[in-house]
Structure 1
Amino acid sequence: MKKLLLAASFSLGVSAVAQEAKTDAPVADTVKAWSIQGQNTLMLNQAAFSNWVGGGANNVGWLAGVNYNMTYEKGKDLWENIVILGYGQNNTKGTGTRKTQDVINLSTNYGREFAQHWYLSGGASLQTQFAAGYEDGNNPDARKISNFMAPGYVNVGVGVTYRPNDNFTMTLRPANARITFVSDKDLQYAGSYGLKKDGDTSLFQFGFLGTAMYKVKLMENINLTNTGSVFSNYLDHPDRLVLAYGAVLNMKINKYISSNITLDLMYDHNQIQKTQLKQTLGVGFGYNFDNGRKRSDKKDNQSWMK
C-alpha cells in the first residue's frame, strides 16, 4: 500500500512540474507585421426627362475607385504603400461621353525609427491619369491637353517621416528628384508642363518635397481625410512652389452604401498659372475593409497574413 501511495505521489509531482514548465514557456508572438486597409467604390447617377417644361437632358454616369493602404510595421521598421485609382464618365444626350474623374496615384515610403515617432525614410511616388483630357470639357474634338503619362510625375527622395499614430503622417524630403514625363508626342512642345524645347519627353527637377496626411473622425460613420504637399525646385525658380491639397469626406450609410465628396486644389506654374479646382459628389456602392491590425498599436492578430 505504501508503495502504491509513493508511486501516486511521484506521478502527481511530475505532472505538476510539467504543468508549471508549460505555463512558464514563452508565448508565441502571433501578431503579424502587415496590415491592409481599403475602400472600393462604385458611384452611379442618372436623370431622365420627358415633356419636362423646366428643361434638361437625359444623362447617366458612373465613377469607380479604389483606395488601399498596405503597411508593414515591425520593431523600428515602417513601410507604407498607398494605391489610389479612380475613373468616371458621364454620358449626356446631345453632348456625348465626358470624363468626370481620372487619377492614378501610387506611392511607397520606408522608414527606420531613430527617435520616438521619427523615422529616417526614403520613398517614391507616381501620379498620372488613365486617358486623354481635352480643353473643352473633355470634348475629343477640342485641343488635347493631357494623356496617360503626359504628364506623369515621378518623385524619388530621402528625408524624415513623423508618424505619431495611424491618423497623422508627415514626410519631409530635403533631397527629392521630381521628373515630369510627357509621353504624348502632341504635347511635346516647349513650355508644355515645363519642357525646355520641342520634342523633349521629360523635365528633371531637384528640390524639397513635403507631404502630410491627416484623418479626422467627424462623427460615427463620417470621416474626413486631408492630404497636402509642397515642392520647391532648387535648380530653377525655387519660389514657384507646387502646391496641392485634397480632401475626401466619406459618409458610410451601411456596409455597402456610402457617399463621397472630394475636393482637390492645385497650383503648378508649369501647368497653368492659375489655381486648379476639382470637386465630385457621389452616392453608391462602397465596401470598406480592415484586414489586420498594426503591431505598434498592440491590436488583434492579423489572421489574413497567416
Structure 2
Amino acid sequence: MKKVYLAATMMLLAATALHAQDDSMRKLREETAKKIKNGEKDTTGRLWKKGATFNLMFNQGSLTNWAAGGDKLSLSLLGTLNVFANYKKDRHSWDNNLDLAYGYVNTTSLGTRKNDDRIDFTSKYGYDIGNHWYLSGLFNLRTQFTDGYLYPADTTPELVSRFFAPAYIVLSPGVDYMPNKEFSLFMSPITARWVVVMDDSLSARGAYGVDTGKHVKSEFGAFITATWNKEILKNVTYKTKLELFSNYKKNPQNIDVFWTNVLSMKVNKWLSANVSLDMIYDDDVKEFENTKTGVMGPRLQIKQVLGIGLTAKF
C-alpha cells in the first residue's frame, strides 16, 4: 500500500512540475511575441531619419579714438538652417537636404548690406547594387532670397541678382559611391542643367550666360558632386560639398565649380562657433573687370564668414 501511495505522490509532483513548466513556457512565448511586435514597430519608425540644425550668429565691433582708423561700429547677423529627411528600406534610399542662409552686415561708413543669401535643396534617390554602389537620380535647386547689388566706389548700387535670377536647376541620373554614412561621390556623364534668370533687366543684359532677352538657358554635360560630413575632433565637425559641371555644348574644358565648406566648433549645448568658406567659378558669369586690361570675364568668387552664436538641433 505504501508503494501505491509513493507512486501516486510522485505522479502528482511530476504533473505539477510539467504544468508549471508549460505555464512558464507560455509566458516566455507571450513576452517574446510582444518584443517582436515592438521591434517591428521600432523598425518601421526608423525608416525615416529626420532632423534640423539652426544657427544664429552675431558679430559686433566698435572703435573709439582709434588712431589706425576704421569704422566706429560694425554689426552683423547671420542665420542658417539645415533640414534633412532621409529614407532607407532594403535596397532603396532617398536623401533630402535643404540648406538656407541669410545675413546682413551694418557699418557706419557703408551702411547696411547683405553678406549671405542661399537656398540650396538636393534630393537624391539610390538603389543599392552592391559594394557600396548605388544607381541614383539627383535633383538640385540653388538660388537666393532677395536682391543682390554691386557697390562701385563712385556710383549708385547696381542690381546683379534676385530671387530666381539666377537659379540653377540640375537633373542628373548616375551612380553614387557611399562607403559609409559620412561620404558620398555622385557621378553622371549625362546631366541636364538649366540657368534661370527671371528678372527682365538682368535677362536683357544677358546675365549669367542666358541669351539676351531670354530667361532660361539649357545646358547638357557631365556632373560630379562629392559630400563629406565628419566629426574630425571632439565637438568639431567639418562639412563640405563640391560640385563640378562641364557643359558639352560650350567650352567643356572650362569646368564650373561650386565648393562650400563649414567648420563647426561646439562650445556647449547652445553655443557654437562656425567658419564657412564658399568658392564659385562659373565660366558664364563675366561680370568682373580686369583692372589691368579692362576686359570683362569670369573670376573665382570667394566668400568667407566667421561667427559665434546660438545653435539648436531638432
Shorter-chain-normalised TM-score: which range? 0.7 to 0.9
Distance 2:208 2:120 in 1: 18
Shift of 1:264: 1.0
If each structure's helix is expressed as a fraction of its own residues, which one has the higher value? 2
Partner secondary structure for residue 271 of structure 1: coil
- Partners of 2:157 and 2:279 lie apart in 1 by 24
Which residue of the partner structure matches residue 40 of structure 1?
A: 54
Does the residue aligned with 2:269 lie in a helix, a strand or coil? Answer: coil
Larger-Rg structure: 2
Q: What is the CA deviation profile of residues 80-115 of structure 1, one whole-angstrom value per residue up to 9, with x for unaligned ones?
A: 111100000011124211111111101100111111
1:16 offset after TM fit, Å?
Answer: 3.2
One-letter amino acid matched to 1:48: S
Number of aligned positions between the proteins: 288
AA matched with 1:159: G
Helix, strand or coil at the partner of 1:104 = strand
User: In 2, Cα distance between the equivalents of 1:195 and 1:179?
Assistant: 10
**Normalized against structure 2, the TM-score is what?**
0.84
Query: Which of 74, 80, 87 pairs up with 1:59?
Result: 74
Matches within 5 A, 1:8-157: 8-22=16-30, 25=33, 27=36, 28-29=39-40, 30-31=42-43, 32-55=46-69, 56-136=71-151, 141-157=156-172
Distance 1:139 1:202 in 2: 33
The answer to which of 229-238 and 204-213 deviates more is 229-238
* 1:93 maps to amino acid: T
Q: Aligned letter for 1:283?
A: I
Cα pair 1:98 1:139 within 8 Å, conserved? no
Structure 1 position 232, deviation (Å): 1.1
In the alignment, structure 1 segments of 5+ residues that lack a partner are 290-306
Counterpart of 1:167? 182
Q: Tell me whether 1:232 sits opposite 2:240 in the alignment.
A: no
User: Is the 2:106–2:113 Cα contact (8 Å) retained in structure 1?
Assistant: yes
Does 2:228 align with 1:214?
yes
Q: What is the CA distance between 1:4 and its match in structure 2?
A: 6.2
2:296 is the counterpart of 1:277: no
In structure 2, the CA distance between the partners of 1:68 and 1:274, relative to structure 1 (3 Å rule), is same
From 208, 229, 237, the counterpart of 1:223: 237
Matched AA of 1:196: D
Distance 1:88 1:99 in 2: 6
- Tell me whether 20-29 or 267-276 shows the greater mean CA deviation: 20-29
Q: Distance in 2 between matches of 1:123 and 1:145?
A: 29
Contact 2:84–2:98 (Cα < 8 Å) also in 1: yes
Give, in whole Å, the separation in 2 of the partners of 1:116 and 1:193: 40
Q: 1:44 to 1:190 in 2, by over 3 A?
A: closer
1:176 aligns with 2:201: no
- On the 8 A contact 1:189/1:195 being kept in 2, the answer is no
CA deviation after TM superposition for structure 1 residue 144, in Å = 0.9
Match of 2:261 among 247, 251, 258: 247
Instruction: State TM-score, norm by structure 1.
Output: 0.86
Distance 1:226 1:140, change over 3 A: farther
Deviations 1:122-144 (A, max 9, x none): 12111011111112179993111
2: CA distance, partners of 1:265 / 1:219 = 24
Q: Secondary structure at the match of 2:204?
A: coil
- Alpha-carbon distance, 1:8 to partner: 3.0
Letter in 1 for 2:20: L
Residues in 2 aligned to 1:36 and 1:139: alpha-carbon distance in whole angstroms: 49
Could you tell me which amino acid in structure 2 is paired with residue 124 of structure 1? F
Q: Relative to structure 1, is the Cα distance of residues 145 and 210 closer, same or farther in structure 2, using a 3 angstrom cutoff?
A: same
Identity of aligned residues (%): 32
Secondary structure, counterpart of 1:15 in structure 2: helix
The residue type equivalent to 1:132 in the other structure is D
Structure 2 portions without partners, runs of 5+: 1-7, 287-297
| Further displaced range: 10-19 or 82-91 | 10-19
The SS at the match of 1:130 is coil
**Residue 261 (1) aligns with residue 275 (2):** yes
